[in-house]
């Protein structure tokens, strides 16, 4: 009888202890959930950074692309085509420079854009020459030509892939899961076709056009802004913006700093 009473008492103690232990995770989980809450940008305080990118010096003229190996491609261009590596006007305004926030955003989180970023294959050239998108955003490739192309991104931190796309084929959709700069893209069918892809975790990037760029809706803070060009390298500047403040940031690349082919 004593043994039975002891066993019942012991069982009650164990049940009470288990119930007590079971309640602890419920209490402890709350701070974890709070600490993992997203830090979003307060749109009432955002500012912007804008400016120009110029080239100091006259670039070496590029050699026209030889498309004679593909009669269709050659026919699409009555005039010679030069590689779009250095696109600069008479005033020295430099296009195709990627300007982005390199550092300073901390733990802000951002939604992935729903609209795709499109890379066209037209006239046996990639258009645009430089593209930028966010992690997880759809990367769409179209073939507007009457010849077969293939799209071959060659990343270091993302998955490499290589897909053929004949005339009239449906667009190729893919995504990049990790941030990565200057992913080279080539067409194994037409070796002169080259492009670059930039993948960011935030929306603060721009590609200069006629030398101009703008980074909108930045929260107040101190940032490292980087400008990248495929021939002339990178240039960094640090800038601090306050609430609702707009600041100019200008970059100049020198021809003498061009990297060798």
For residue 122, what are the contacts with CB-CB under 8 A and spacing of at least 6? 144, 145
Provide the pLDDT for residue 143: 97
CB neighbour burial string for 68-79, b if at least 16 within 10 angstroms, e if fewer:
eebeebeebeee
Q: Nearest to residue 141, comparing CAs of 173, 116, 112?
A: 173
Residues 48, 217: Cα–Cα separation, whole Å: 6
Q: Nearest to residue 161, comparing CAs of 134, 183, 129?
A: 183
The three-state secondary structure class of 202 is coil
Q: Evaluate if pTM is beyond 0.85.
A: no
Provide the pLDDT for residue 19: 42
Using pLDDT thresholds of 50, 70 and 90, give the confidence band for residue 36. low
Provide the pLDDT for residue 261: 44
DSSP symbols for 39-107: B---TTS-EEEEEEEEEESPPPPPPPP--TTSHHHHHT-SS----TT--B-TT-BB-S-EEEEEE--TT
Provide the pLDDT for residue 79: 92
Residues 153, 118: Cα–Cα separation, whole Å: 14
Can you tell me the mean pLDDT for 117-122? Answer: 97
| Burial category of 215 from C-beta neighbours within 10 Å (exposed 0-12, middle 13-18, buried 19 and up) | buried
Question: 153 pLDDT exceeds 50?
Answer: yes
Question: 95 pLDDT exceeds 50?
Answer: yes
Q: Locate tokens 């804008």: which residue?
A: 50
Q: What is the pLDDT of residues 45-87, one digit of tens each?
A: 999 999 999 999 999 999 999 999 999 999 999 999 999 999 9
């Amino acid at each position: 009888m004593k043994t039975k009473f002891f066993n019942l008492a012991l069982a009650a103690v164990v049940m009470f202890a288990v119930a007590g232990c079971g309640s602890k995770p419920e209490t402890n989980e709350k701070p974890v959930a709070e600490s993992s809450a997203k830090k979003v940008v307060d749109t009432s305080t955002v500012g912007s950074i804008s400016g120009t990118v110029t080239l100091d010096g006259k670039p070496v003229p590029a050699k026209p692309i030889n498309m004679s190996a593909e009669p269709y491609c050659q026919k699409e261009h009555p005039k010679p085509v030069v590689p779009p590596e250095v696109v600069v006007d008479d005033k020295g305004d430099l296009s195709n420079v990627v300007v982005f926030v390199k550092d300073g955003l901390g733990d802000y989180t951002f939604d992935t854009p729903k609209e795709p970023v499109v890379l066209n294959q037209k006239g046996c050239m990639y258009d645009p020459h430089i593209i930028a998108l966010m992690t997880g955003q759809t990367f769409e490739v179209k073939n507007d030509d009457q010849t077969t192309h293939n799209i071959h991104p060659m990343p270091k931190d993302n998955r490499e892939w290589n897909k053929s796309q004949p005339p009239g084929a449906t667009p190729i959709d893919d995504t990049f899961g990790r941030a990565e700069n200057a992913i080279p893209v080539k067409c194994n069918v037409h070796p002169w076709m080259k492009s670059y892809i930039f993948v960011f975790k935030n929306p603060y990037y721009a590609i200069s056009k006629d030398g101009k760029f703008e980074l909108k809706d930045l929260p107040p803070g101190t940032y490292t802004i980087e400008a990248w060009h495929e021939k002339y390298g990178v240039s960094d500047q640090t800038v601090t913006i306050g609430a609702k403040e707009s600041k100019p940031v200008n970059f100049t690349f020198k021809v003498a700093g061009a990297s060798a082919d």
